Amino acid sequence: MTATTQPPRYFALLPAAGVGARMAANGPKQYLTVGGKPMLRHAVDAFRASPLVAHTYVVVSPDDGVIDSVLPPGLDGVTVLRVGGATRMDSVLNGLRALDGQIAPHDLVMVHDAARPGLTPALIARLIEGVGDDPAGGLLALPVVDTIKRSAPGADGGALSAATVPRNGLWSAQTPQMFSYGLLLRALGSAPDANAITDDASAVEMLGHAPRLIEGHPRNLKVTLPADIRIAEMYLAHKED
């Protein structure tokens, strides 16, 4: 069997160079303690516990002084890359470029938000199985169940309900989002505006691909506001989805 016909390996890449401004915390939100340990460690441990994942990479800022206490050097199955950028997309792209020569173009990379501590090995397996060999890759997501409103500014500065948006076909994106190393590197490298790329799937879509949507789980929520911590801890009290 030649190198080009080797089955793909699965890798995890977690961008963790953000400052978490909306959390109103004293430091980056990925290091906030949730359910007894930092959010980032919850996410990393989910990948470490999955027999399907070959290795996990975490991208942090070059001057990050906290990461070594959260992910001690030499931790099995984990490598810290100090190449974080100004935006999430920059961090992911820098991380991918740092792995040039270590990951084959057809290997699969799962990019996961460091602030989603509710990920489980079962959800990782669901994503891998659901995407299969689809060349466009795929992502965990949830069908939108709430009624969606489009707002308009009110005279008093508040928001008014201006229209109801049909929710048929609408999904709320989660992570991990999984694509081949070659496709993801090309998509992010050719994206015209880093600030316009809110997730990796949007960059892949710009190339004309349609990533597969795999139903995730509410436990895999992104901790953005202080109130989200209690919700995450409720889910973390139950190990599996």
* pLDDT attached to residue 18: 73
pLDDT grade for 197, boundaries at 50, 70 and 90: confident
Q: Is pLDDT of 21 > 50?
A: no
140/118 Cα distance (integer angstroms): 13
The whole-angstrom distance between residue 130's C-alpha and the CA centroid of its chain comes to: 17
pLDDT digits 0-9 by tens, 74-105: 999 999 999 999 999 999 999 999 999 999 99
Query: 213 near 179, Cβ under 8 Å?
Result: no
Output phi, psi for 208, to 5 deg.
95, 5
176/123 Cα distance (integer angstroms): 9
pLDDT grade for 195, boundaries at 50, 70 and 90: confident
Those residues with Cβ within 8 angstroms of residue 184's Cβ, 6 or more apart along the chain or in another chain:
92, 96, 109, 111, 137, 200, 203, 204
Instruction: Classify residue 142: in a domain, yes or no.
Output: no
49/59 Cα distance (integer angstroms): 19
How many folded domains does the chain comprise?
A: 1
Query: Dmax of the chain from CA atoms?
Result: 69
pLDDT grade for 19, boundaries at 50, 70 and 90: low
213/221 Cα distance (integer angstroms): 16
Q: What is the CATH number of the domain that holds 223?
A: 3.90.550.10
Instruction: Classify residue 152: in a domain, yes or no.
Output: no
Q: pTM above the 0.85 mark?
A: yes
84/92 Cα distance (integer angstroms): 8
Q: Determine if the peptide bond prior to 176 is cis (ω within 30°).
A: yes
Over pLDDT 90: what percentage of the chain?
Answer: 85
Number of H helices, E strands in the chain: 7, 11
pLDDT grade for 29, boundaries at 50, 70 and 90: confident
Instruction: Classify residue 57: in a domain, yes or no.
Output: yes
Instruction: Classify residue 205: in a domain, yes or no.
Output: no
Instruction: Classify residue 99: in a domain, yes or no.
Output: yes
Those residues with Cβ within 8 angstroms of residue 213's Cβ, 6 or more apart along the chain or in another chain:
138, 139, 141, 171
Instruction: Classify residue 212: in a domain, yes or no.
Output: no
Range of the domain at 54: 3-133+176-199+217-236
Instruction: Classify residue 143: in a domain, yes or no.
Output: no
DSSP letter string over 114-179?
Answer: TT-TT--HHHHHHHHHHHTT-TT-EEEEEE--SPEEEEEE-TTS-EEEEEEEP-TT-EEEEEEEEE
Instruction: Classify residue 159: in a domain, yes or no.
Output: no
